[in-house]
């Protein structure tokens, strides 16, 4: 499916470190994702919980940064959070775009800039160390995507796959991989967006129609199912299909024959089906939007594509590859992109990059900079998901003896974010720019209930 030229990999600087996922074996550290004007994926472990960084630090990897001071900053992990202290650097240290005062520890949240380098804290560096970030046939694959594609590879030997993920996360790309990895790869791949099919046309478009089946049917017309014969049918937003059409689809998948509208004889077909949606299919069955029997036919095995905000290591490479030839990225653009939640995921990132590139061109800039990005690009639709440029926080000097009441607007912000993220605490914490443990503590302390979700982490 791929050639050597089509594959390039940003290897993490450390070697493989074992593949367990147990919490004790986790290796916290920093990911250096940008330096020397280029995307990179360098894993920096914190020795005994801390690491001093500066020009010449071996852990930075091959590409050094002339704008970093020799002793630039120290990063420390306290078991739950990362803290960064500027050691008196010349050019300063920035957390989420805001300069931190020298000499005191500040929480390192989404992205830390020193010189022209960008670092993102990671609770576990092992996946990056093991897999790096690669590009295969224009598709950027970080460690999470590579792990997911292994599952897809196994699934491609079977009859179906269900892909769950937010809009724009790359579900169609994964469906194409399901097809390309399967024994049916030489057959057709037919992608259908079920949400875009008018209800009245769904049967005709899916199952086809014989000449004379309805007024205006002058010729036999193939449906998507016949077109996908011998290959893979990708049904995006499958729960948008009407229940009667779902019943007919199930019959086709079970009997392996399709009866076109107006036809008297069914036609044998052999196809595999890959479905996708941004919804939890079991919940759709529970609410009566999806037939239970169809769920058992198309809902397993399933994979979940994490949103882009949970895969920051892919962002610099996506930006680099999305630029027009001859253009280059300024560190400020990558920093801005790493800070924002991107509810529209990769699709939104790539489209806003195009807008920013155009703006930089109009202003005669040689590089695309953070200021060329529209202020609302990648921002949440509601106030809850936005990542305000608030000043980085210093660690509390001592633990408060009693919890202070939570301001009403803060409670509303958290509850709204929980709803937006379907009760997923990890995603909500990311969206609010805080650590998961921190959010869990807030929820417990202030008795905020979490809507039902699948998260068991
Ligand atoms: N990992 C990736 N590397 C490069 N481009 C990507 C990647 N993921 C997604 N894209 C690009 O982002 C756009 C959206 O991807 P895709 O259509 O696969 O998303 P989707 O999850 O199917 O979205 P929707 O649910 O809205 O249909 C496409 O242009 C795709 O090429």
3-state secondary structure of 420: helix
Domain identity same for 154 and 297? yes
Please tell me the distance from the alpha carbon of residue 97 to that of residue 93, in angstroms, as a whole number: 9
Q: Is 148 in the pocket of ligand 1 (CB under 6 A)?
A: no
Same domain, 125 and 150: no
Strands across the sheet containing 160-165: 189-193, 232-236, 272-277, 160-165, 302-305
Percent above pLDDT 90 for the chain: 69
Sign of the CA dihedral with 404 first, then 405, 406, and 407 last: negative
pLDDT at 253: 94
Top-confidence range, 57-66, 293-302, 423-432: 293-302
Q: CATH number for the domain including 280?
A: 3.40.50.300
Q: Which residues contact 59 (CB under 8 A, 6 or more apart)?
A: 13, 42, 44, 45, 51, 53
Pair 130, 10: CB distance under 8 Å: no
ipTM: 0.98
Sign, Cα dihedral of 202, 208, 214, 215: positive
pLDDT in the model for residue 220: 80
Q: Which of 278, 305, 332 is the last residue of a domain?
A: 305
Interval between CA 170 and ligand 1 midpoint (Å): 3
Can you tell me the mean pLDDT for 232-240? 95
pLDDT digit string (tens) for 307-361? 999 999 999 999 999 999 989 999 999 999 999 999 999 999 999 999 999 999 9
Q: What is the percentage of the chain residues whose pLDDT exceeds 70?
A: 87
Residue pLDDT, tens place only, 182-224: 999 999 999 999 999 988 889 999 999 888 777 776 778 889 9
Strand duo 112-114 + 117-122: pairing: antiparallel
Q: Is residue 108 part of a domain?
A: yes
Are residues 165 and 94 both part of a single domain? no
Encode burial over 81-91: b for 16+ CB neighbours within 10 A, e otherwise.
bbbbbbbebeb
Whether the predicted pLDDT of 420 surpasses 60: yes
Give me the domain span that covers residue 199.
Answer: 143-212+219-305
pLDDT at 412 over 80: no
Query: If you compute the radius of gyration of the chain from its CA atoms, what whole number of angstroms results?
Result: 25
Q: Which residues contact 146 (CB under 8 A, 6 or more apart)?
A: 131, 134
Domain boundary among 348, 372, 396: 372
Residue 106 lies in a domain: yes
Which residue of 144, 146, 149, 173 sits with most ligand 1 atoms within 8 Å of its CB, as the best mutation to test the pocket?
173
CB-CB contact of 442 with 411 (8 Å): no
**Final residue of a domain: which of 305, 328, 355?**
305
pLDDT digits (tens, 9 = 90+) for 86-134: 999 999 999 999 999 999 999 999 999 999 999 999 999 999 999 999 9
CATH number of the domain within which 43 lies = 2.60.200.20
Contacts of 226 (CB under 8 A, 6+ apart): 208, 258, 260, 267, 269
Q: Ligand 1 centre from 162 Cα, in Å?
A: 16
Mean of pLDDT over the chain: 87
Same structural domain, 201 and 68: no
- Residue 85, ligand 1, Cβ within 6 A: no
Asked if residue 125 and residue 148 are part of one domain, the reply reads no
Are both 289 and 362 inside the same structural domain?
no
**What is the pLDDT, as a whole number, of residue 407?**
67
Residues 31, 75 within the same domain: yes
| Same domain assignment for residues 26 and 124 | yes
Residues 118, 149, single domain; the answer is no
Task: Count the domains in the chain.
Answer: 2
In a domain, 406, yes or no: no
> pLDDT tens-digit profile of 138-188?
999 999 999 999 999 999 999 999 999 999 999 999 999 999 999 999 999
């Amino acid at each position: 499916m791929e050639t050597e030229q089509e594959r390039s990999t940003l290897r993490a600087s450390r070697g493989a470190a074992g593949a367990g996922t147990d919490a004790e074996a986790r290796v916290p550290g920093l990911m250096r994702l940008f330096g020397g004007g280029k995307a990179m994926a360098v894993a920096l472990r914190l020795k005994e919980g801390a690491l001093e960084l500066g020009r010449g630090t071996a852990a930075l990897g091959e590409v050094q940064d002339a704008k970093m001071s020799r002793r630039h900053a120290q990063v420390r992990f306290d078991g739950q959070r990362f803290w960064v202290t500027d050691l008196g650097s010349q050019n300063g240290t920035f957390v989420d775009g805001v300069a931190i005062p020298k000499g005191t520890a500040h929480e390192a949240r989404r992205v830390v800039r020193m010189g022209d380098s960008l670092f993102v804290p990671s609770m576990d560096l092992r996946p990056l160390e093991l897999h790096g970030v690669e590009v295969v046939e224009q598709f950027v694959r970080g460690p999470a995507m590579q792990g997911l594609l292994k599952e897809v590879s196994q699934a491609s030997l079977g009859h179906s796959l269900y892909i769950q993920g937010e809009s724009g996360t790359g579900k169609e790309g994964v469906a194409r991989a399901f097809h390309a990895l399967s024994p049916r790869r030489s057959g057709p791949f037919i992608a259908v967006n079920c949400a875009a099919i008018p209800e009245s046309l769904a049967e005709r478009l899916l199952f086809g129609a014989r000449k004379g089946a309805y007024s205006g049917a002058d010729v036999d017309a193939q449906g998507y199912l016949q077109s996908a014969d011998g290959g893979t049918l990708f049904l995006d937003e499958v729960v948008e299909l009407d229940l009667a059409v779902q019943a007919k689809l199930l019959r086709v998948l079970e009997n392996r024959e399709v009866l076109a509208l107006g036809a008297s004889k069914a036609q044998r077909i052999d196809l595999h089906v890959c479905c996708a949606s941004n919804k939890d299919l079991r919940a759709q069955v529970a609410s009566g939007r999806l037939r239970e029997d169809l769920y058992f036919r198309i809902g397993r095995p399933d994979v979940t594509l994490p949103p882009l905000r949970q895969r920051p290591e892919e962002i610099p490479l996506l930006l680099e590859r999305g630029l027009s030839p001859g253009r280059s990225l300024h560190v400020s653009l990558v920093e801005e992109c790493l800070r924002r939640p991107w509810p529209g995921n990769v699709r939104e990132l790539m489209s806003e990059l195009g807008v920013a590139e155009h703006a930089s061109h109009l202003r005669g800039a040689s590089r695309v900079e953070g200021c060329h990005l529209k202020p609302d690009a990648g921002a949440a639709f509601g106030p809850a998901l936005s990542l305000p440029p608030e000043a980085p926080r210093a660690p509390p000097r001592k633990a408060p003896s009693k919890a202070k009441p939570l301001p009403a607007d803060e409670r509303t912000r958290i509850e709204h974010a929980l709803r937006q993220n379907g009760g997923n605490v990890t995603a909500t914490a990311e969206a609010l720019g805080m650590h998961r443990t921190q959010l869990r503590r807030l929820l417990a302390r202030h008795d905020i209930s979490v809507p039902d979700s699948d998260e068991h982490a």
